[in-house]
Structure 1
């Protein structure tokens, strides 16, 4: 979008939010994700906001984010979760844009390497406590699906367990095309997916962030130590098993920052349990290995771990089959 059109869109959002003053400065947000265009905006009165222009690089259906994020952020804030307030939203072009409250803090993934151990543990523990609050937003057992706008749409495959099982086999089939040397037995994986389906379907149904990683969490130093000041980027949120979020938080890295501190699980109040944990690790590793081999996204630490995982795929499958009896 040309610069003058972007400024017109931003001014429209500021007007909708009844924010007076002109735009004094706008610059790209550092360490933003790959889906949208994010800008830090400062008005001539010194007020700061986040200007989020939606994009959609995926093949699947767009999630009606202009309605979805205002709806979700308000619900999250009602549960004491520090999601930024959506001040204005508009459909513009194919996807739209929103104006967000500016939250203080630094990204957990950026600040972790320079924090002393006690401060690091405070920050991760607080993130875990907020994650527990997120997962306290529950749905009836057996509920699962994608949130489109304000509506929950069940997965086309039916249940959560069936969705995950079919997703696993799909990723395995793609990986077989990339790496025929692995000699992946798709029949074996279909059998594994069928075995675990009922186990996954018995999991609690909760609101999932569905893209949790240390670069979607803000932390700041407060009087009592480091605390979580924001959980960001709710566009992919859906409903399913909370262990899915925990495993993703443990596995996704933009940069190498070391293993997940135990403080996260202490703050959350639990560690990801077997047998669901090992199944999601398999599912995510196949997905991330394909992303690396496709060249579709750059998450070097996550992709290196995924490639290492598939190089020892037989041992992982044997362990998972043993766990599930």
Structure 2
């Protein structure tokens, strides 16, 4: 695979890429601040406003198609930008990129401190309703991404495969003591065997935190979702791992209105808590090779130590905590 630079290409190349892909001139273009997952440019053209995106952590063409497939599937039911053009690494940017429509609004993390108590409640409720709508979108099979790169006949098989990948990554990274790693993975494997039957593949974002939400201006759907690089056809309960970590724990005032919005049309699925604890264990383990080796961040790593220790305590596991 080719290697792509992690710094922004010159803005003039983004201008050329837009015109090549849309056959429109650029009236104004500006670089957005670099995010965790993408480099982006906003573009004003005669037909409207757009965003050019190219990946940082997942920069290859296959990664782009996975994101676009999820985004196009989600756009059927929820507010999310429409993908209007795709470029492989042969374009002006010399790296895969895509262009999407612009939704007028601000991300939830920026918006929330500016809202009244009533506004916070409304935002939480609308966000819950948006996520519930997302989780009603069915997938053909359980899959690691919405392009169907790797699929599974059963949810148990998908969970065991995910657990094995996380175990292998931890063994390679050595960011978590081996005894704790094996104690936790053994318990998770047993819990996977006890997951209820009847879980169906649904579109699952897998990176739900406030910067990936959009508080929309003048839109019929008041809250949208962004950034589909991690989306999969999973048990949608998986999305509550990060919702708990990065939304409800940080902004507890959102929990009740979110759950009210999420359960407006149907209750939480059977065995919700039992399913959630399995996925929490897997995701907490996944944080160690990610923030301990792939993208080192001692503050984040320490947070995952605390999360995993708490998980071990709740399951009454013997041995030292990480």
TM-score, normalised relative to structure 2? 0.77
Q: Structure 1 CA distance, aligned partners of 2:55 and 2:218?
A: 32
For residues 190-229 of structure 1, the aligned pairs below 5 Å read 190-199=186-195, 202-220=198-216, 227-228=222-223
Contact 2:80 / 2:225 at 8 angstroms: preserved in 1? yes
TM-superposed CA distance for 1:245, in Å, is 1.2
The offset of 1:102, in angstroms, is: 0.5
1:122 Cα deviation after fit: 0.8
Counterparts in 2 of 1:258 and 1:187: CA distance versus 1, 3 Å? closer
Conserved? CA contact 1:171–1:283, under 8 Å: no
Describe the shift of the 1:51–1:221 C-alpha distance in structure 2 as closer, same or farther (beyond 3 A): closer
1-structure distance, mates of 2:226, 2:313: 36
**Structure 1 partner of 2:4:** none
State how 1:202-281 maps to structure 2 within 5 Å. 202-220=198-216, 227-228=222-223, 230-252=224-246, 257-259=250-252, 260-269=254-263, 270=267, 273-281=272-280
Written as runs of structure 1 = structure 2, the 5 A alignment for 1:105-144 is 105-139=105-139, 143-144=141-142
Other-structure match for 1:27: 30
Are residues 95 and 241 of structure 1, via their aligned partners in 2, closer, same or farther at CA, if it must alter by over 3 Å? farther
Give structure 1 stretches of 5+ with no counterpart. 321-325
Is this contact kept in 2: 1:145–1:153, CA < 8 A? yes
* Aligned counterparts of 2:167 and 2:63: Cα–Cα separation in 1: 29
Residue 8 (structure 1) shift: 1.7
Q: Would you say the 8 A contact 1:39–1:51 is kept in 2?
A: yes
Q: Deviations over 1:35-84 (max 9, x none)?
A: 221111123x48321011234458xxx562554445443433333x1121
- List alignment gaps of at least 5 residues for structure 2: 1-8
Correspondence 1:276-315 to 2 at 5 A:
276-294=275-293, 296=295, 303=301, 305-312=303-310, 314-315=312-313
TM-aligned CA distance change 1:87 to 1:214, over 3 Å: same
**Hey, what does 2:18 align to over in structure 1?**
10
Q: 1:165·1:197 contact (CA, 8 Å) conserved in 2?
A: no
RMSD of equivalent CA atoms: 3.5
Alpha-carbon shift at residue 218 of structure 1 (Å): 0.4
Q: Which residue of 2 aligns with 1:323?
A: none
